[in-house]
Amino acid sequence: MERFTEFWVLGPGHRAEDYPFVVRPSEPQRVYVGIRNHLGALAYYALRVKLRTQGEPLPSQTGAEPSPVPSLYEFRAFVAENGTWEIPVTFEVFDVSLSPGTCAVQGLRLNGEALSVRSISSWDIERRGFYYELFFELWLYNSALGGFEYHNRFVGLWLNVTA
């Protein structure tokens, strides 16, 4: 029997559609992030929330290495075998400044908590926007190591930040 973890992001209608894309400063957006455990036993998970620009690296696809982008926030959950954990996540960018060719996001509010961010995106001439990716990395507690290790799964949302 295959052991794995389901991991998802759903849009504001709790469906796989209508994801936030064009976001304006101080305009709240909502998604749902969830986990379903098929590992054969109770599992302790951490979801690390990160914000990156197009030029910053994602987690490796083959090496099971997380993204070096700093974590902004962390959710933790115990999930029983075949159990599901899901949480609504409200986010908004704030303290955004635009200058010719660049957009600087200084803050991200996540479920009401203001987080300090320093992320600068360059204008994407082909896609016509300032692009950021809000993404969630899945980590799993390893009792032998006495800590969390990256579980080689992540989900994300591309955002075009406008004024």
The H helix count followed by the E strand count for the chain is 0, 10
> What are the residue ranges spanned by the domains of the chain?
4-161
Task: State the CB neighbour count (10 A cutoff) for residue 12.
Answer: 16
Q: How far is CA 77 from the centre of its chain?
A: 16
8 — pLDDT class (breaks 50, 70, 90): very high
8 Å CB contact between 111 and 89: yes
Q: Please state the separation of Cα 125 from the chain's center in Å.
A: 25
CA separation (Å) from 91 to 24, 115, 118? 11, 10, 16
The position carrying tokens 């083959």 is: 62
Q: Inform me whether the pLDDT recorded for 63 exceeds 70.
A: no
Q: What is the CATH number of domain 4-161?
A: 2.60.40.10
Check residue 163 and give its pLDDT: 67
**Alpha-carbon separation of residue 57 from 41, 118, 124, 132, 152 (angstroms):** 32, 16, 17, 12, 14
What CA–CA distance (Å, rounded) separates 138 from 64?
11
Asked whether 76 and 44 are in contact (CB, 8 A), the reply is yes
Residue with tokens 């949302």: 157
The pTM is what?
0.94
Res 1: pLDDT: 78
Statement: residue 31 has pLDDT above 70: yes
Residue 62 pLDDT class (50, 70, 90 cuts)? confident
